[in-house]
């Protein structure tokens, strides 16, 4: 039976992954942790074990692992791309030294370790369309640098010490529970909130900027599916390209107008996030994930729009 510790559990992915994993593995078998408890997630925190845990505190993380007899860590604690450019030192510290602590505990205590990577591992010199699984990786952000190094570190711990490390390169994730934590793809979440609240949105990413995206239910399935995949089929343990769709802000607006015809989109481009987006692929080739562990996403843009608007109408109490 898996006994799972989720780090960074109160973030965009962790808040939904904790619920899903508690449903699958049992409430008591999934320990959620983060830097501090948040009132917004009281129900989730109270639905199973919760620990205040900074992944830079290796001793405390080791004690939590012992206390709950953890055998699997899903390491979601990280600093994302836009915040990482504003605070590169913090980004390096959490994404590198925090991951190093997790992997060292993985080696010492024979744990399985799942750590997401990102489309941010790619840069200007990477082929932009149908970006291959194995290709040039020269990222321009601190976040991207830490993610490439993290993929390599996880592969090293598997090769050298036999730690069962696994991971995917997530594209931008769209969800309606917890807001994204400071990335470049966050516009693709904010746009739905503003479409309902104001029937208009000012995008910080410019028209024509294609990026890969995915709806959260597909992302959660990817984590569980790869965690449980037959290891003998896995050749790329820590760095699977996965995607569900690729679009630009105008495609999103057209999809939203099918539900809110008067929706308006304009632009006030943020040079920092635009330059990050320009350096990332237009679309990924995820054929290796499909071949090695049967990756097969369900949601395309219009499915996401319909579901996001339905869920957010209830959450925001906007019934128009």
Residues marked as catalytic: 143
Angle between the 187-198 and 301-316 helix axes, to the nearest 10 degrees?
50
Q: Which stretch binds ligand NAD (CB under 6 A): 177-185, 202-210, 248-256, 296-304?
A: 177-185
Residues 181, 166: Cα–Cα separation, whole Å: 23
Distances (CA, A) of 125 to 121, 166, 191, 284: 11, 26, 30, 15
Choose the contact partner of 297 out of ligand NAD, ligand SER, none; CB within 5 to 8 A by kind. Answer: none
Q: How many CB atoms sit inside 10 A of residue 231's CB?
A: 11
Are the C-beta atoms of residues 242 and 170 closer than 8 Å to each other?
Answer: yes
Nearest distance from residue 115's CB to ligand SER, in Å? 13
Residues 320, 313: Cα–Cα separation, whole Å: 8
Nearest distance from residue 80's CB to ligand NAD, in Å? 5
Residues 278, 92: Cα–Cα separation, whole Å: 22
Nearest distance from residue 119's CB to ligand SER, in Å? 6
Determine if 118 is a binding residue for ligand SER (CB under 6 A): yes
Per DSSP, 12 falls in state T
- Which of 29/184 has CB closer to ligand SER? 184
Are the C-beta atoms of residues 106 and 167 closer than 8 Å to each other?
Answer: no
- Which of 9/116 has CB closer to ligand SER? 116
- Which of 8/183 has CB closer to ligand SER? 183
Stated as kind and residue range, the H or E segment containing 113 is strand 112-114
Nearest distance from residue 106's CB to ligand NAD, in Å? 16
- Which of 154/312 has CB closer to ligand NAD? 154
Q: What 3-state DSSP class applies to 241? A: strand
Determine if 184 is a binding residue for ligand SER (CB under 6 A): yes
Determine if 77 is a binding residue for ligand NAD (CB under 6 A): yes
How many residues are present in the chain?
320
Q: Report the Cα–Cα distance between both ends of the chain, in Å, rounded.
A: 46
Determine if 118 is a binding residue for ligand NAD (CB under 6 A): yes
Interface mask toward ligand SER for 71-90; x: CB under 6 A: ---------xx---------
Choose the contact partner of 81 out of ligand SER, ligand NAD, none; CB within 5 to 8 A by kind. Answer: ligand SER
Determine if 163 is a binding residue for ligand NAD (CB under 6 A): no
Number of helical H runs and strand E runs in the chain: 13, 14
Determine if 185 is a binding residue for ligand SER (CB under 6 A): yes
Residue in this structure with the two tokens 């949105």, named with its chain if needed: 201
Q: How many residues touch ligand SER (CB under 6 A)?
A: 9
Q: Which stretch binds ligand NAD (CB under 6 A): 40-48, 54-62, 194-202, 303-311?
A: 54-62
Nearest distance from residue 302's CB to ligand NAD, in Å? 20
DSSP string, 187-226: HHHHHHHHHHHHSEEEESS-TT--EEEEEHHHHHHHHHHH
Q: How many residues touch ligand NAD (CB under 6 A)?
A: 27
Q: Which residues bind ligand NAD (CB under 6 A)?
A: 7-8, 10-14, 34-35, 54-56, 76-78, 80, 94, 98, 116, 118, 170, 172-173, 180-181, 183, 185
């Amino acid at each position: 039976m898996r006994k799972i510790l989720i780090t960074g559990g109160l973030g965009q992915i962790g808040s939904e992954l904790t619920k899903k994993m508690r449903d699958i593995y049992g409430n008591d078998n999934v320990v959620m942790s983060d830097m501090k408890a948040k009132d917004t997630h009281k129900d989730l925190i109270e639905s199973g074990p919760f620990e205040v845990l900074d992944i830079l505190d290796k001793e405390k993380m080791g004690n939590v692992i012992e206390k709950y007899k953890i055998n699997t860590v899903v390491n979601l604690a990280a600093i994302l791309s836009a915040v990482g450019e504003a605070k590169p030192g913090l980004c390096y510290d959490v994404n590198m030294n925090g991951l190093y602590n997790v992997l060292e505990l993985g080696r010492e205590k024979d744990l399985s370790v799942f750590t997401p990577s990102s489309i941010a591992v790619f840069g200007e010199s990477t082929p932009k369309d149908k970006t291959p699984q194995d290709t040039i990786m020269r990222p321009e952000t601190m976040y991207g640098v830490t993610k490439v190094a993290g993929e390599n570190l996880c592969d090293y711990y598997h090769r050298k010490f036999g730690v069962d490390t696994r991971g995917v390169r997530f594209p931008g994730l769209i969800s309606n529970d917890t807001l994204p934590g400071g990335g470049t793809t966050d516009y693709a979440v904010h746009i739905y909130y503003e479409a309902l609240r104001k029937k208009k949105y000012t995008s910080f990413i410019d028209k024509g900027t294609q990026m890969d995206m995915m709806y959260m239910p597909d992302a959660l399935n990817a984590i569980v599916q790869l965690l449980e995949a037959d290891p003998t089929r896995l050749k790329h343990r820590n760095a699977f390209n996965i995607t569900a769709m690729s679009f630009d802000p105008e495609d999103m607006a057209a999809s939203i107008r099918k539900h809110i015809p008067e929706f308006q989109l304009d632009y006030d481009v943020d040079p920092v996030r635009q330059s990050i987006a320009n350096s990332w692929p237009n679309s990924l080739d995820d054929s290796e994930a499909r071949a090695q562990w049967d990756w097969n996403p369900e949601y395309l843009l219009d499915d996401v729009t319909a579901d996001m608007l339905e869920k957010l109408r209830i959450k925001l109490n906007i019934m128009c």
